[in-house]
C-alpha cells in the first residue's frame, strides 16, 4: 500500500485551492518551498558534506554532513529535492534508493559513536520504486534504519519540512523528537495513490488527502509527532529566511530539552515514545 506521486502530476505552481488538507499537500510540494539545503545553509555553520554508503554508491536524494549548530557539532541527514529540471533529475525527485538509506545509517552510527546529536530533515514523495532499488533491497534498507535508529545513543531530532512520504520518510524518522513544519504533510500513502485504490480515480486525490489525516495538526492530535513549527504567512516559500529562523528557534529549544539525558536515557526515551504510538484499539 505504499506509493508515490509521479512528478508529472505536479501542479503546485498554481495558487493552492481545495480542502484544507489538499492545500497543505500543495504547499508541501510547492516548487519554491525551501528544501533541505536551503535550511542547512541558513541554520548551520561549517557544513561539510560526506558521501557514500561504502558499499554501492552515493545517493544524491539524501544529503549528509558534519556541521555546527549554535556552536556545537551535529550530524545532518536530509532528503533533498531539486529545484530546476536538471537538479530534480539529479536528486531523483527526492526519492532515495537503498544506498541513500545505507549512507544515512552509516553516518548516524558514526555520530552515535562520537556522541554527536543527529538532525534529520524529511522531504520525499517516497522511497524510489524502481527495479534497481528493489534488487538492492529497498525494503531491507528502510527496515534496518528503523531498527538501528531505535538503538542510537545520541539525541535525534527529526523535522518533516515538506513531504513525509511513507516508509521513504520514516526511514530517517525515528527521533527522540519529531517535528513538522506547519504546512508539511506526513502520510502512509500519497493522496494520488490512495485515491487510485479507494476511488479507482487518482484525480480524487483531494478527497483522499482529507481522509488520510496527513496534516501536522492531524499527526499532532493522533500523538504521532511532538510539535509543529510555524511558517511565515502564506507558507515557507514566501520567506525562506523567516522559515529558517522559525525552524532554528524550535530546533534549538528541542535539542536543549534532550541535553540532560544520558546515553541510556536517550535510547529509553525514544523507545518509550514509539512503544506507545498508535494505541487505537480496545
Partner 1 sequence: MSWFKRDKGDDDKLPKLTDQERRVKTEGLWQKCEGCRQIIWKKDLEANWNVCTKCGAHSRIDAFTRLKLLLDEGEFTRYDSTLRSNDPLGFVDSKPYSERLRGMQNATNLCDAMIAAEGLLAGRKVQICAMEPKFIGGSMGSVVGEMIMRAIERAIAGREPLIIVSASGGARMQEGAVSLMQMAKISAGLMRLDESRLPYISILTDPTTGGVTASYAMLGDLNIAEPGALIGFAGPRVIEQTIRQKLPEGFQRSEFLLKHGMLDEVVPRLELKQYVATALRFFVD
**Footprint on this chain of partner 1 (rule: CB under 8 A):** 1-4, 6, 127, 129-131, 133-140, 142-144, 146-148, 150-151, 166-167, 170-171, 173-174, 186-189, 193-194, 197-199, 211-214, 218-219, 222, 224, 270-271, 274-275, 277-282
Min separation Cβ 273 and partner 1, Å: 9
Minimum CB separation of residue 130 from partner 1 in Å reads 6
Evaluate whether 3 touches 194 at the Cβ level (below 8 Å).
yes
Q: List phi, psi (to 5°) of 238.
A: -70, -30
Nearer CB in complex with partner 1: 50/143: 143
Residue whose cell numbers read 485515491: 195
For 14, residues 6+ apart whose C-beta sits below 8 A from its C-beta are 26
Tell me whether residue 199 is exposed, middle or buried, using C-beta atoms within 10 angstroms of its C-beta: 0 to 12, 13 to 18, 19 or more: middle
CB of 212 to partner 1, least distance (A): 5
Please say which residue, 110 or 143, places its beta carbon nearer to partner 1: 143
Closest CB 248 distance from partner 1, rounded Å: 26
DSSP designation for 70:
T
* Shortest distance in whole angstroms from residue 110 CB to partner 1: 18
Q: How far is the CB of 94 from partner 1 (least distance, A)?
A: 14
Q: Nearest distance from residue 91's CB to partner 1, in Å?
A: 16
Report d(CA 243, CA 71) in Å as an integer. Answer: 21
Nearer to partner 1, 137 or 232 (CB): 137
Q: How far is the CB of 63 from partner 1 (least distance, A)?
A: 22
Between 256 and 262, whose beta carbon lies closer to partner 1? Answer: 262
**Residue among 68 and 151 whose Cβ is closer to partner 1:** 151
Give whichever of 65 and 155 is closer to partner 1, judged by the CB atom.
155
Looking from the CA of 196 toward its CB, the CA atoms found within 13 Å total 12
Residue 183 is classified by DSSP as: T
Nearer to partner 1, 148 or 245 (CB): 148
Q: Which is nearer to partner 1, 69 or 186 (CB)?
A: 186
Cα distances (Å, whole numbers) of residue 21 to 158, 184, 207, 251: 22, 10, 9, 25
All three cell numbers of 194, joined, read 490512495
Residues 7 and 5: their CA atoms lie apart, in Å, by: 6
Residue 121: strand, helix, or coil: strand
Residue 15 DSSP code: P
In eight-state DSSP terms, residue 9 is G
Handedness of CA 117, 183, 227, 232 (dihedral sign): positive
Amino acid at each position: 500500500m505504499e506509493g508515490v506521486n509521479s512528478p508529472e502530476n505536479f501542479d503546485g505552481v498554481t495558487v493552492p485551492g481545495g480542502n484544507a488538507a489538499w492545500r497543505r499537500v500543495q504547499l508541501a510540494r510547492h516548487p519554491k518551498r525551501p528544501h533541505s539545503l536551503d535550511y542547512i545553509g541558513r541554520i548551520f555553520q561549517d557544513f561539510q558534506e560526506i558521501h557514500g554508503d561504502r558499499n554501492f554508491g552515493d545517493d544524491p536524494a539524501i544529503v549528509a554532513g558534519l556541521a555546527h549548530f549554535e556552536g556545537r557539532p551535529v550530524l545532518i541527514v536530509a532528503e533533498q529535492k531539486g529545484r530546476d529540471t536538471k537538479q530534480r533529475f539529479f536528486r531523483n525527485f527526492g526519492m532515495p534508493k537503498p544506498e541513500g538509506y545505507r549512507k544515512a545509517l552509516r553516518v548516524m552510527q558514526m555520530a552515535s559513536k562520537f556522541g554527536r546529536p543527529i538532525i534529520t530533515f524529511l522531504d520525499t514523495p517516497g522511497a524510489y520504486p524502481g527495479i534497481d532499488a528493489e534488487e538492492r533491497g529497498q525494503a531491507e534498507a528502510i527496515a534496518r534504519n528503523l531498527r538501528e535508529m531505535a538503538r542510537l545513543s545520541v539525541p535525534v531530532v527529526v523535522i518533516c519540512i515538506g513531504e513525509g512520504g511513507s516508509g521513504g520518510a520514516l526511514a530517517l524518522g525515528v527521533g527522540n523528537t519529531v517535528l513538522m513544519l506547519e504546512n508539511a504533510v506526513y502520510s502512509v500513502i500519497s493522496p494520488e495513490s490512495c485515491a487510485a485504490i479507494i476511488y479507482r480515480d487518482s484525480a480524487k486525490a483531494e478527497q483522499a488527502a482529507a481522509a488520510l489525516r496527513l496534516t501536522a495538526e492531524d499527526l499532532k492530535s493522533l500523538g504521532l509527532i511532538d510539535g509543529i513549527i510555524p511558517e511565515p504567512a502564506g507558507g515557507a516559500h514566501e520567506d525562506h529566511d523567516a522559515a529558517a529562523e522559525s525552524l532554528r528557534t524550535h530546533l534549538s529549544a528541542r535539542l536543549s530539552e534532550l541535553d540532560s539525558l544520558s546515553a541510556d536515557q536517550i535510547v529509553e526515551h525514544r523507545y518509550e515514545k514509539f512503544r506507545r504510538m498508535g494505541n487505537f484499539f480496545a
